[in-house]
Amino acid sequence: MAVQAEERRSKLLELVRLKGFAALPDLVEILQVSESTIRRDLDYLEETGAAKRTHGGVLYTGASPKLPHFDLRQPAQWDKKRAIGRRAAALIEDGDTLILDGGTTTYEVARELVGRHVQIVTNSLPVANLFASSPNTDLVLVGGYIYPRTGVSLGPYADAMLAELNVRKTVLSVAGINDRGFFNSNLLLVETERAMMRAAEQVIVVADSTKFGHHSLAHLCRLEEVDVLVVDSGTPEVWRQKVLDAGVTLHVAELDGQGS
C-alpha cells in the first residue's frame, strides 16, 4: 500500500507540475481514484511544500532553485514561521500590490498567498517560483546581482528598480531585533530592503520569537519605522510591550494546538 501511495503521489505531482494548476475533478478522472484519496494526497504534497491547495484545485509550488543556505535555514523554527505566515497573509487583501523579500519567514507568507488575487513584487527566486504558475497572481521580479546563498537580487540595479515602484505593503524578514531596531545579516540586503520600505504605504515585518534581543551585521531601521510586526506567541511580554510603546501594531500568531 505504501508503494502504491508513493507512486500515485509521484504521478499526481507530475500532473500538477506539467499543468501548473489542476482542477480536482480532472485529477480524480485521470488517476481513477476517489476524491477523498486525491484530497489526502494533496494535503501531503502541501505539507512538503510541493503544491498549494486552492479553491477547486491545486497549484504547483515545487522545483525551487537549489540554494543550500536557504534550504538549511528554512526548517529552523518552522512551526513558528508557518504560524506567522498564516497570520501575516490574513493582513493582505485581495487586489493588494506588495513587495516580498527573500527571508525564510517571508517565504511562509508567500506560500499562504499562492492562488490569491494579488500583485507580487519580489527579489527572491524561491518566492518568485511560488507564483510563476499562478493564474491569479501578477508577478514582478526585481533584477540585480543574485546573491548565490539565498537566491535574492541585491545591489544598485535592484535598488534603482524598486525606487520606481509604488506598492500598498512591503513584507520583510529580519535576522535580529533589539532596542535599536531591526537588523539583517547582509549590508547589500539592508540597502535593498530600505528601498522596499520606501516604496510601500505600509511596512510589515515578520519575525519569530528567537530573533528578539539579538542584533546582526547591518542595522535596517528603528522599531518605530515599521508599521506592523507579526510574531509568534513565544515572544516575551517585555518585547511585546516595547514594540507597542514604539507605536507599532503587533499581531501575535498562535502556534498549532494553542488556540486561535
* HSE (side-chain half, CA atoms, 13 Å) at 74: 19
> Which residues lie below 8 Å from residue 48, measured CB to CB, with a gap of 6+?
none
Nearest to 98 by CA among 51, 154, 140, 155: 140
Check whether residue 201 and residue 74 sit in a common domain: yes
Check whether residue 76 and residue 49 sit in a common domain: no
Check whether residue 221 and residue 192 sit in a common domain: yes
The percentage of residues in the chain with a pLDDT greater than 90, rounded to a whole number, is: 56
Give the total residue count for the chain. Answer: 260
Q: pLDDT digits over 46-86, tens only?
A: 877 777 777 667 877 665 555 554 544 544 567 889 899 99
Task: Report yes or no on 259 lying in a domain.
Answer: no
Residue 176: phi and psi, rounded to 5, are -165, 155
Residue 246 is part of which domain span?
68-253
Task: Report yes or no on 260 lying in a domain.
Answer: no
Contact by Cβ (8 Å): 212, 235: yes
Check whether residue 75 and residue 50 sit in a common domain: no
Q: Beta-carbon neighbour count of residue 29 at 10 Å? A: 10
Which pTM value belongs to this model? 0.75
Cell numbers linked to 228: 506592523
> For residue 159, what pLDDT is reported?
96
Check whether residue 113 and residue 26 sit in a common domain: no
Check whether residue 51 and residue 88 sit in a common domain: no
Check whether residue 27 and residue 79 sit in a common domain: no
Check whether residue 128 and residue 197 sit in a common domain: yes
Check whether residue 132 and residue 247 sit in a common domain: yes
Q: What is the CATH number of the domain that holds 138?
A: 3.40.50.1360
Q: pLDDT digits over 103-153, tens only?
A: 989 999 998 898 889 999 999 998 998 888 777 899 999 999 998 888 899
Residue 122: phi and psi, rounded to 5, are -145, 155
> For residue 218, what pLDDT is reported?
96
Instruction: Work out the burial of residue 164: count CB atoms within 10 Å of its CB; fewer than 13 is exposed, 13-18 middle, 19 or more buried.
Output: exposed
Task: Report yes or no on 149 lying in a domain.
Answer: yes
Total domains in the chain come to 2
Distance CA 190, CA 175 (A): 11
Distance CA 107, CA 224 (A): 24
